[in-house]
Structure 1
Amino acid sequence: MSRQSPLIYSLLLIAILINITEQKRHLKIGGLFDKNKEETEHAFRLAIDLINAKHTSETIHLQSVVQSVDSRNILAVSSATCSLFGLEIVGLFGPNSSPGGASKHIQALCDNKEMPLIEIHWDPNDGRNNVINLHPHPEIIEDVLIEILQAYEWKKFTIVYDDNESLAKINKLLVYKHNEYSFGLEELDKNEENYRQIMYKIKKQGDTHFVLICSVETLEKFFKQAQQVGLLVENYHYFIYNFDIQTIDMETYQYAGSNITSIRFFDPNSPKVFEFEQELKDYSNYRFPTRKMISFETALLYDAVNLFHQALNDSRSSNKLNPKPLYCDSDYTWEEGSSIINIIKMKEIDGLTGPVRLDSKGFRTNFDVQLIELNEINWITVGYYNYLEKKLRITRKQENKDQQSDENSLRNKSFTIITVLTPPYGQLKDTTTQLYGNDRFEGFGIDLIHELSLMLGFNYTFTLQKDRANGNYDRKRRKWTGMVGAVLSGEADLAIGDLTITSEREEAVDFTLPFMTLGIGILYRKPKPVPPSLFMFTSPFSGEVWLLLGVSYLCVSFSLFVLGRLSPAEWINPYPCTEDPDHLTNQFSLKNSLWFAIGSLMQQGTEIAPIGISTRMLAGVWWFFTLIMVSSYTANLAAFLTVETLVTPFKNIEELATQKEIKYGAKANGATVNFFRDSKRDIHKSVYSYMMNNQDLMTNDNEDGVWKVENENYAFLMESTSIEYVMEKNCSLTQVGQRLDDKGYGIAMKKEAKYRQLLNSAILKLKENGKITSLKIKWWKEKNSGDCDSVVSKGAVTALTLQNVGGVFLVLGVGTFMGLLMVFVEITFKSYKRSKKEETKFKQEMREEIEFFLKFKKSVKPIKFSNNSVESNAETVDNMDNFYNESR
C-alpha cells in the first residue's frame, strides 16, 4: 500500500484540479441591439454582471459580446449576426427593435444554425423554432384591451397613434364587432413638436374617450399640450397602451380631473424591483438619465438573462457544452442549441415581471396584467387579468366621496415626527426650566407642523435624529440612513427639517409639495474695500475714453490750424490804425491752435477768438464737447472719491473652482454634495472631485462650516435659506454669486401614504394666506439676534465707457466735418467775388489761394491790388518779402 500511496495522491490531486477547472465555465452570450437604444444595451451588460455577482457559486459564468447596428439596414444586421456566430456564443439576445425584416432575418439565421435566440419585443410572428420571447403574446394583450373597453362600456372613442406599428398592435380592436362601438383615428407625427392643431380639432368634435397607442416621448408631449389646450379636465377619459407608463412623471396631471387608465406587467414600486434598481446604481456608475424608473424592456431583459443563466446551470450537461464558431457561409450547425431551447422552455423563475413560464412555442404564459388608474396619490391597481382564467377582474370599490373623505381624514390621528436640531428649522428652547415632550422644541419646522395640525386636526409627537443626518443611501450596507431611514423603518411617520427633495430620496419616500424653495449658494466673508490709488483721478474714464480724448484734442487743434489758414476771415490787418496794410496775419498758427484747444478743455479760455464762420463752428462744437466731458468727469470723480469699491476674490462657482488660495467644502453626505456628484457640468464635477480629495474640508454640520468661514480663508457651500439665516446673525458674512440650482424642502413620508394629498392641500393654503411667509420672517429676522439691516452696503462705481459718452464724440466729429465744409464755401465765395471785381479768372484765384495755403511756413498774407497798379503791386510784394525775411 505504501508504494501505491504516492500514485493515488497524485491521481486525486489531478482529479481535484480538473474538477475545480470544470466548476467555472465561461460561456459567451451575444447581444444584438439597435444603435438608438443605448439604454437597453447597457442594461444587458449590467444584467449579466449582476447575475454573475449574485451567483458566484454557480458553475456557469456568462460573458457579454455586444454588437450595435442600425436595425433598418438588413445587410448590417446580417453581418453583425454572423460575426457573433463566429465568437463561439451559446445564445443570442435581440434585437430590441420592432419586428420586421431584420427580426425575421435574424430568426431565420438562428434557425439555420440552431442557435438559441431570446427576444423581448412585441412580435406577432408564430413561425419560429429556436426562439424564446419573454414579451407577452400580442393576441393576449389585444384581448385584454377589448375586455377593458367593454368593462368600461366605451361605445365611441378616438384612437391616437404615432406610427403604423402602433395600429398593428390593436388589429383586433380595429376589426372586432364594429356594430358594438365606433372609433376615429388620429395620427401624431413623432418628429413634430406641436400637436395642438390636432387637439383643437378633437376638442371641436366633442370626443371625450381616447385610446393612446404612442411611444413614451410622444405621450410626454401629448399630455403636456393636452393640459394647455384643455383636454385634461373632468369628463375626459384616456386609456394608455404603453407598458412604460411608470417612467413618465404624471404628477402634474394627478389633479386635473381626467380619468387616466393603463396596464402594466410589473409593479415598479415592488421591493424586488426597488432592490434591482439599487443594485444597478451600486454596481455601476452608469445612470439611465431619461427615466425615473426602469422600463418594461429593461425588466424583461434582466429576466431573460436570469432565465438563460439558471437554465444553463440546471442542465446536467452544462459542463459538457461545447460551443464552437459558426459561419453563415457553411453548412455546420450547433446541435446543442436546440437542447438549450428545450431546457429554457421547461424552466420557471420568479422574475421582476412576475412568474416567467413558457409554452412549447416559446411564448410567455401564465402571467398577470395589472389594470392601473391615476389618482391624486399615484398609479393604483384597480383590476387584474389572468392568462389562465382569460378574464378581467375589477377590484376597485365604488365609494361615495363622503366615505372617502372620512376614511382619509387625519382628525384625531397621531403621528410620530422626526426632526434634527438645525436652527432655525428645529432647535431646543433656551430656558432655565425643565421642559418635556414637544415643549422642548421650537423653530420654523416645529411651527409649521403646529399650523398643519390645527388645520387637519391630527396629534403629533416630536423625536430627534441623534446623528443629525437628513438621510442618504448607504451602498455598502444597502440601507438608508438619517431621517429618511427612520421613516422607511417605521420609527417615524413624518420627517421635517432642512430636508431637500431629491430624485434619489423620492425613490425611497414620498414628499409633500415644497414648503420652501431654495438653491445652493456660496457662503463667504463680505468683500473688503479697495485702498485708494495714487492715480484715482484717472478712474472716472476708461482707458479707451482717455485715448480718444487725447486723439480728439490733437485732431481739433490741427483742424483749427487748417481752417484758420483756409478761412479768409481769419486773415486780419495786423495794424488797425492803417487802413490799407501791405500784408495780413493769421492768429491760428499751430501753437496757438493747440493752446486754444487745451484752454477750452481746461475751461480757462484764451485771448484767441475765432472770427470766421467755419472756425467758430468748430470752436462751438469743441466747447460743447468739453462741457459734457468735464461735467461727466466731475460727476464720476465725486462718486469714486466718496464710494468705497468692494473687491470679491471670486464671483461665482467657476472662479472659486479655478483659484487655489481659497479652500471650500460642504456638509458631508448631504444633498449639496449629492448635487455636485450627480451634475453633468464639468465645473461641478471638478468641485465634487476636489471635495472628495479633501475630506478634511468637509464638515459634520452647517455650524462647523460657518465657523470655518469666519476663522479661515474658506468658502462653504450650503442652501440659500440657511445662508440668509446666517447673514442675519453674522453681518460679516454674505452670499457670493447666484444660486446654483432650484429645489425645495418638503415633509417626507412612506411611499403611497394616503394623507400626502391632505398635507399638500394644507401647505398650499398656508402659502396662500401668507402664514409660511410670516413664519419665515419670525425665525429669520425677529427671532434672530443679528441686526445687519442697519449696515448700509456701499455699491461699487464703474468707469464710464465709450457707450456712456460716445454721443459726444459723434457730435464733435460732425461739427469738425461741417467746419471743413464751410471753409471751402468761404474760399469759393471770396475767390468768385474777387474774380468779378478784378476781372480775372475764377480758377486762377482759387489756385492762388490753395497754393498759398500749402506754404505753411508763411504766416503773413500779401494783399492783392487791382490790375491798374500791377507794377506797384509787384513792388509791394517785394517789400513784403523783404519785411518777412527781416522779421524772421
Structure 2
Amino acid sequence: FWVSAILSLSLSLSLSLSLSLSPLQLRAAAQIFLLSVLSFPVCSQFSKGVYAIIGLYDRKTVNMLMSFCGALHVCFVTPSFPIETANQFVIQLRPELQDALVGVIEHYGWNKFVYMYSSDSGLSVLQKVLDTAAEKNWLVTSVNVESMTGDSFLKVFKDLDKWKEGNIIIDCETERLTGILKEIVEQGKNAKSFHYILANLGFLDIDLTDLRKGGANITGFQLVNNSEPSVSRIVQQWMEFDNKDSKMPKTGLKYMGALTYDGVKVMSTAFQYLRRQRIDISRRGNAGECLANPPAPWGQGIDIQRALQQVQIDGLTGHIQFNEKGRRTNYTVSVMELAPSGPKKVGYWNEDEKYVSTASLSRVNNDTHGLLNRTYIVTTILESPYVMQKKNHELLVGNDKYEGYIVELAAEIAKHVGYQYKLKIVSDGKYGAKDPETQKWNGMVGELVYDKADLAVAPLTITLVREEVIDFSKPFMSLGISIMIKKPTKSKPGVFSFLDPLAYEIWMCIVFAYIGVSVVLFLVSRFSPYEWHAEDYEEGQSPEQTNEFGIFNSLWFSLGAFMQQGCDISPRLVDLSPENAYTLCAVWCRVAVYVLCG
C-alpha cells in the first residue's frame, strides 16, 4: 500500500514544485530483513543515501532501530505501536490508546474485568490500566495470551466461568486478535452475558459476524473515518491500483495501511517545506554511514526531524500533528459498538473533551421501529397444555398448526408490541442444558445462545445457570409447588425416655464411674483415721469405733451427690490431701455438675 501512496504523492509533489524548483520525486526502496541479520540491511539503506526511513518494528527490533537512527540522525517514521523513547528522530504515526481505553472503562462503570494482552503490541496500555486500577480500586485480572494454544484458551475460559467474569478487554494486534475471537466463538463465550472491549484502532477491519450471532456486546475503537469523501477517494484509488496485480487478493483499506499512507504524506509535506525554504539537505562525505568507524551522524538530519515534527495535515487517520517527542497529538478516536444491524458509532474520544457519548434515544427508537419490518423466530416446545398440535395440523400452515396457552400468549405479546413472528418447535425437544464435556447448550436455550431463534416463549424454569447466558422476562405463571411435610403424631414417652438426652455409651460410663467412686470412697474411708469415731457408751463399757461409710452408705452418698440431693452423712474435712474422702467427694460433685450442665 505504501508504494501506491508514494506514487500518487510523488506525482502531486512534482507538479507543485515544478514551477519554481526542479522536480522532486519520492523513490520507494523496500527491503525485508531477517532479525538475525538486521544490522547489515539497515546500514546498506543508510549507505544508499536515504533521507528518512518508514517502516515497522516489533519489540525485538525496536531498540536496535532506535539506536541506529539516534546515532546517525536519520528519522524513522513508523505506524507501529507507540513506545516510550527519548529518541527525537522517531516519528510515531499511531495514536496512543491508553487514555481513550480508560475513558471507555469509566463510561461503562467497570470495576472488575479481565485484561487479555500480548506483548507484541507493547505494554504501555496495560501499564496505564493497572496504574488507574490502583488509584480507583479496580480489580483487574491480566492474562498473557502471546503463547497460548487451544488448550490454554480452554483453561482460561473455564476460569472465567469460575470467576463469573463477563467483562473482558483484549489488547492485541489484528492478526492475533482474529485468532482469539475465533476461540471465543468456538468456546461459546459470545453470549449476551459477555462484554468485550477490543483495544485496537481498527474495529471495522475485524470480522465480527460470528460474535454478532451470539449476541455478545462488543466495543472497540476506529481511527479511519470511512465516511469522509477524501478517505473514500483514496480507497477507490487503492482498489484500482490493487486490481492491476491480479495475483494479489483484493483487500480493503485497513488502519495500518491508512497510517502508512499518512506517513508517506507526512514525509512528502516535510520535504516540500524544506525545498520551499531552500534548506540544503544533501549528503556529503561519509555522513550517515553506520559502517564508518566511528559512525558519522548526518548534520542535516536535525533539519528533517524538525520539519517532520512541524507537519500539521489532515490525513486518512484524521488530524495529524506531533508533539516535541514525535508522538501524535490533537487526534480523535471513534468509539464503536456492534449492534444487531452492524457496527455503529456510539461516541468519540479526544484529548480536550475526553470521552463523549453520541448515542441517543432516537437510535433506540429507530431500532424499535425496525420490529415492524422483520419476522422474528419464536422457539417453543410441545408440552400440554401449553403448546399442542391441532388435530388437523397437517392441513394447516404456520402458527395456525398449534394451540394452547403459550400459543395464545405469544399472539397477545405480538399484538401488544406490534411485530411479526413465526413459531418454531425446538428441534431436539429439550428445554436447555449445558453439556459438561463440550460446554455447548442444547434445547431452546441453545437456539437463543447460537442465534437460531430470537425469542423463546415456553414453560421454561428460570435458573441461575440459564440467566448467565440469556435474559428472562417476568414469569407468566407460578406453579405453586411446595414441600409437604406430614404433621408428626404425638407418641407416649417410653419407660427409658429419660435416657434420651445422652447416648447409651455416656450412660454406661456414668454408671461405671458411679460404682468406681463408691468403692473408692468406701476404701478411703476404711483406711482414713478421720472417718472412724467412737459411739456413745455407758460407764463400765469399752468404746466401740464405727465408720459411717460402709459399702451401702458409700453407694447412697454417691447417688445423692450425683442427683444433687442431700444426704445425712458426709466425709469430714481435715485437709485436702488426695487420700482424704472429702477430696474424692468434691471431685465427684464437680463431675455431676458438668454432666447435668452438658
Give TM class, smaller chain.
0.5 to 0.7
Give the Cα separation in 1 of the matches to 2:338 and 2:117: 21
CA shift for structure 1 position 56: 4.4
Instruction: Tell me, yes or no, if the aligned pair for 2:113 and 2:166 is still in contact at 8 Å.
Output: yes
Partner of residue 322, structure 1 = 282
Query: SS where residue 69 of structure 1 aligns?
Result: coil
Query: SS where residue 118 of structure 1 aligns?
Result: strand
Partner of residue 277, structure 1 = 235
Report Cα offsets for 1:27-53 as digits up to 9, x if no partner. xxxxxxxxxxxxxxxx23222122224
Report Cα offsets for 1:834-855 as digits up to 9, x if no partner. xxxxxxxxxxxxxxxxxxxxxx
Residue-pair matches, total: 368
CA shift for structure 1 position 275: 2.4
Distance 1:128 1:239, change over 3 A: same
Equivalent residues in 2 for 1:657-668, closer than 5 Å? none
CA shift for structure 1 position 204: 3.3
Partner of residue 779, structure 1 = none
Instruction: Tell me, yes or no, if the aligned pair for 1:50 and 1:283 is still in contact at 8 Å.
Output: no
CA shift for structure 1 position 366: 0.5
Query: SS where residue 57 of structure 1 aligns?
Result: helix
- Does the alignment pair 1:366 with 2:330? yes
Report Cα offsets for 1:213-263 as digits up to 9, x if no partner. 123233323333323332111121111112233222112322422210011
Give the Cα separation in 1 of the matches to 2:160 and 2:346: 28
Distance 1:61 1:197, change over 3 A: same
Equivalent residue for 1:78, pick from 16, 23, 39: 39
Instruction: Tell me, yes or no, if the aligned pair for 1:254 and 1:377 is still in contact at 8 Å.
Output: no
Equivalent residue for 1:104, pick from 49, 63, 83: 63
Partner of residue 153, structure 1 = 109
Instruction: Tell me, yes or no, if the aligned pair for 1:303 and 1:351 is still in contact at 8 Å.
Output: yes
CA shift for structure 1 position 208: 0.8
Query: SS where residue 332 of structure 1 aligns?
Result: coil
Paired AA for residue 185 in structure 2 = Q
Give the Cα separation in 1 of the matches to 2:194 and 2:247: 33
Partner of residue 332, structure 1 = 296
Partner of residue 142, structure 1 = 98
Partner of residue 661, structure 1 = none
Distance 1:403 1:314, change over 3 A: closer
Partner of residue 197, structure 2 = 239
CA shift for structure 1 position 383: 0.9
Query: SS where residue 371 of structure 1 aligns?
Result: strand
Give the Cα separation in 1 of the matches to 2:250 and 2:218: 20
Give the Cα separation in 2 of the matches to 1:364 and 1:167: 18
Give the Cα separation in 2 of the matches to 1:361 and 1:186: 31
Equivalent residue for 2:130, pick from 160, 174, 177: 174
- Does the alignment pair 1:212 with 2:173? no
Query: SS where residue 61 of structure 1 aligns?
Result: coil
CA shift for structure 1 position 264: 2.1
- Does the alignment pair 1:126 with 2:95? no
Give the Cα separation in 2 of the matches to 1:113 and 1:188: 37
Distance 1:275 1:408, change over 3 A: farther
More displaced stretch, 251-260 vs 146-155? 251-260
- Does the alignment pair 1:88 with 2:49? yes
Give the Cα separation in 2 of the matches to 1:304 and 1:177: 34
Equivalent residue for 2:206, pick from 240, 248, 252: 248
Instruction: Tell me, yes or no, if the aligned pair for 1:265 and 1:369 is still in contact at 8 Å.
Output: yes
Instruction: Tell me, yes or no, if the aligned pair for 2:82 and 2:95 is still in contact at 8 Å.
Output: no
Give the Cα separation in 1 of the matches to 2:170 and 2:148: 17
Distance 1:104 1:217, change over 3 A: closer
State the superposition RMSD in angstroms.
Answer: 3.3
Q: Could you list the runs of 5+ residues in structure 1 that have no partner in the other structure?
A: 1-42, 412-454, 458-760, 765-888
Give the Cα separation in 2 of the matches to 1:398 and 1:120: 37
Equivalent residues in 2 for 1:283-302, closer than 5 Å? 283-284=241-242, 285-286=244-245, 292-302=251-261
CA shift for structure 1 position 147: 1.6
Give the Cα separation in 2 of the matches to 1:351 and 1:265: 11
Paired AA for residue 81 in structure 1 = V
Instruction: Tell me, yes or no, if the aligned pair for 1:264 and 1:371 is still in contact at 8 Å.
Output: yes
Give the Cα separation in 2 of the matches to 1:197 and 1:286: 44
Paired AA for residue 181 in structure 1 = W
CA shift for structure 1 position 337: 1.7
Query: SS where residue 38 of structure 2 aligns?
Result: helix
CA shift for structure 1 position 157: 0.8
CA shift for structure 1 position 289: 6.4
Give the Cα separation in 2 of the matches to 1:408 and 1:351: 39
Instruction: Tell me, yes or no, if the aligned pair for 2:334 and 2:345 is still in contact at 8 Å.
Output: yes
CA shift for structure 1 position 402: 6.2
Partner of residue 387, structure 1 = 351
Query: SS where residue 313 of structure 1 aligns?
Result: helix
Partner of residue 223, structure 1 = 181
Report Cα offsets for 1:761-803 as digits up to 9, x if no partner. 9xx9xxxxxxxxxxxxxxxxxxxxxxxxxxxxxxxxxxxxxxx
Report Cα offsets for 1:275-334 as digits up to 9, x if no partner. 223212322434896885333222111101111112212322458442346321245332
CA shift for structure 1 position 393: 0.7
Instruction: Tell me, yes or no, if the aligned pair for 2:13 and 2:272 is still in contact at 8 Å.
Output: no
TM, length-normalised to structure 1: 0.38
Equivalent residues in 2 for 1:693-708, closer than 5 Å? none
Give the Cα separation in 1 of the matches to 2:98 and 2:5: 30
More displaced stretch, 122-131 vs 254-263? 122-131
CA shift for structure 1 position 374: 0.7
Give the Cα separation in 2 of the matches to 1:279 and 1:353: 17
TM, length-normalised to structure 2: 0.56
Partner of residue 313, structure 2 = 349
Partner of residue 192, structure 1 = 149
Sequence identity of aligned pairs in percent? 21
Equivalent residue for 1:406, pick from 360, 369, 385: 369
CA shift for structure 1 position 54: 4.2
CA shift for structure 1 position 57: 0.6
Instruction: Tell me, yes or no, if the aligned pair for 2:120 and 2:172 is still in contact at 8 Å.
Output: no
Instruction: Tell me, yes or no, if the aligned pair for 1:208 and 1:236 is still in contact at 8 Å.
Output: yes
Paired AA for residue 183 in structure 1 = V
Instruction: Tell me, yes or no, if the aligned pair for 2:349 and 2:356 is still in contact at 8 Å.
Output: yes
Equivalent residues in 2 for 1:313-712, closer than 5 Å? 313-315=272-274, 316-317=276-277, 320-324=280-284, 326-328=288-290, 329-330=292-293, 331-389=295-353, 391-398=354-361, 404-406=367-369, 409=372
Report Cα offsets for 1:533-569 as digits up to 9, x if no partner. xxxxxxxxxxxxxxxxxxxxxxxxxxxxxxxxxxxxx
Query: SS where residue 52 of structure 1 aligns?
Result: helix
Q: Could you list the runs of 5+ residues in structure 2 that have no partner in the other structure?
A: 17-22, 375-417, 421-450, 455-598
Report Cα offsets for 1:728-752 as digits up to 9, x if no partner. xxxxxxxxxxxxxxxxxxxxxxxxx
Query: SS where residue 364 of structure 1 aligns?
Result: coil
Paired AA for residue 64 in structure 1 = A
Instruction: Tell me, yes or no, if the aligned pair for 2:116 and 2:143 is still in contact at 8 Å.
Output: yes
Query: SS where residue 65 of structure 1 aligns?
Result: coil
Query: SS where residue 210 of structure 1 aligns?
Result: strand
Give the Cα separation in 2 of the matches to 1:183 and 1:206: 14
Query: SS where residue 87 of structure 2 aligns?
Result: coil
Give the Cα separation in 2 of the matches to 1:258 and 1:45: 39
Distance 1:192 1:361, change over 3 A: same
Give the Cα separation in 1 of the matches to 2:189 and 2:155: 13
Equivalent residue for 1:203, pick from 157, 161, 175: 161
Give the Cα separation in 1 of the matches to 2:83 and 2:366: 46
